């Protein structure tokens, strides 16, 4: 599972770039190559945390794609696991959303790149289970990748993914919050919420508590846009295809990649000026 050497000898830490319930993320340089990496330091106290971390490493090792953040190595230091990954120098989509308005052209390019990642995972029988703007990372060349597989689960084609409640409340699909068996399309609902974030700069019900948000997701159904008339017909239809409350009616990642809103998208390199300008503002 892990490389048996001291990572502090192999990497030089440069700066702290994030934190979460799992621990911290730092930017570091590989002393041998001079290349930059991201190191996620995970506190392993508790059996469930160990299981989730084992799960995250195995999924990242098995499933490599240009659309997901690449796993490089892992190390164990006492009760702390260091997960070394490629460094995405543009930060998280959530940072971009919080600071500027995206054009539909930019939203379409981001959507296509994320859907490529989801199609890759779903084709390999993996459900991400925590798709949100914080877990979508960017590079200054415009590339977009899915990150954070701590809650991901594998499923067989014959079965649903599960019925345990996993994810972040405001992005959860109705079938998750109501405790129904579910499949990979829970990620599509979550990505539909990310698309609303890109439009409105926050997900629906963000002002509500987690419990209230779950109740509204379960009872209200498809969330309403504040100003739908400001959006193109293609974007409105794309959102509708992602946010069908009936999982059967919701489009798959493969189908959404053929939606006109996505097929009209320009290359991801159009995102580079946006990401670079955001980085300069920090």
State how far the Cα of 112 lies from the Cα of 226, in Å rounded to an integer.
24
pLDDT for the residue 158: 61
State how far the Cα of 62 lies from the Cα of 71, in Å rounded to an integer.
10
pLDDT for the residue 3: 82
Check pLDDT > 90 for residue 76. Answer: no
Catalytic residue among 73, 95, 119, 130: 130
pLDDT for the residue 79: 80
Quick one: DSSP state of residue 135? Answer: G
pLDDT band per the 50, 70, 90 thresholds, residue 97: very high
Bridge-partner residues for 77, per DSSP?
Answer: 80
Instruction: Extract the tokens encoding 260.
Output: 């006109």
Check pLDDT > 90 for residue 53. Answer: no
Phi, psi torsion values for 55, nearest 5 degrees: -60, -45
Q: What percent of the chain has pLDDT over 90?
A: 71
Instruction: List where CATH 1.10.510.10 sits in the chain.
Output: 91-281
pTM of the shown model: 0.92
* Mean pLDDT in residue range 58-85: 87
Helix (H, G, I), strand (E, B) or coil at 243: coil
Check pLDDT > 60 for residue 233. Answer: yes
pLDDT for the residue 8: 87
pLDDT for the residue 112: 98
pLDDT band per the 50, 70, 90 thresholds, residue 145: very high
Better-scored residue on pLDDT, 57 or 90: 90
Confirm whether 148 is a catalytic residue: no
pLDDT for the residue 249: 96
CATH of domain 91-281: 1.10.510.10
pLDDT for the residue 196: 98
Check pLDDT > 90 for residue 81. Answer: no
CATH of domain 7-86: 3.30.200.20
State how far the Cα of 197 lies from the Cα of 93, in Å rounded to an integer.
10
Instruction: List where CATH 3.30.200.20 sits in the chain.
Output: 7-86
Give yes or no for a contact between 260 and 234, defined as CB atoms under 8 angstroms apart.
yes
pLDDT for the residue 116: 97
Better-scored residue on pLDDT, 81 or 115: 115
Tens of pLDDT, residue by residue over 151-196, are 888 887 665 555 566 788 999 999 999 999 899 999 999 999 999 9
* Mean pLDDT in residue range 82-88: 93
10: enclosing H helix or E strand: helix 7-10
pLDDT for the residue 187: 97
Check pLDDT > 80 for residue 135. Answer: yes
CA distances (Å), 67 to each of 17, 44, 83, 130, 179, in order?
21, 28, 19, 16, 30
Give yes or no for a contact between 160 and 182, defined as CB atoms under 8 angstroms apart.
yes
């Amino acid at each position: 599972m892990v490389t048996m050497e001291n990572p502090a000898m192999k990497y030089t830490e440069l700066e702290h770039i994030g934190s979460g319930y799992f621990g911290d993320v730092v930017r570091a340089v590989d002393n041998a190559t001079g290349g930059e990496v991201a190191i996620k330091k995970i506190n392993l106290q508790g059996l469930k945390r160990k299981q989730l971390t084992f799960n995250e490493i195995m999924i990242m090792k098995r499933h490599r794609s240009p659309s997901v953040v690449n796993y490089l190595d892992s190390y164990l230091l006492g009760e702390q696991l260091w997960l070394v990954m490629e460094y995405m120098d543009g930060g998280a989509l959530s940072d971009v959303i919080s600071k500027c308005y995206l054009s539909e052209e930019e939203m379409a390019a981001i959507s296509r790149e994320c859907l490529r990642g989801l199609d890759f995972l779903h084709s390999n029988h993996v459900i991400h289970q925590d798709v949100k703007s914080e877990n979508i990372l960017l590079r200054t060349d415009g590339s977009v990748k899915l990150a954070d597989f701590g809650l991901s689960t594998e499923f067989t084609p014959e079965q649903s993914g599960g019925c345990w409640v996993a994810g972040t409340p405001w992005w959860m699909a109705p079938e998750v919050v109501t405790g129904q068996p579910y499949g990979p399309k829970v990620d599509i609902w979550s990505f539909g919420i990310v698309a609303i974030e890109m439009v409105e700069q926050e997900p629906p019900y963000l002002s509500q508590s987690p419990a209230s948000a779950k109740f509204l997701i379960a009872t209200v159904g498809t969330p309403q846009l504040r100003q739908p008339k400001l959006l193109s017909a293609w974007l409105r239809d794309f959102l509708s295809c992602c946010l069908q409350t009936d999982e059967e009616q919701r489009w798959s990642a493969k189908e959404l990649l053929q939606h006109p809103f996505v097929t009209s998208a320009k290359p991801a390199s159009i995102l580079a000026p946006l990401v670079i300008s955001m980085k300069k503002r920090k």
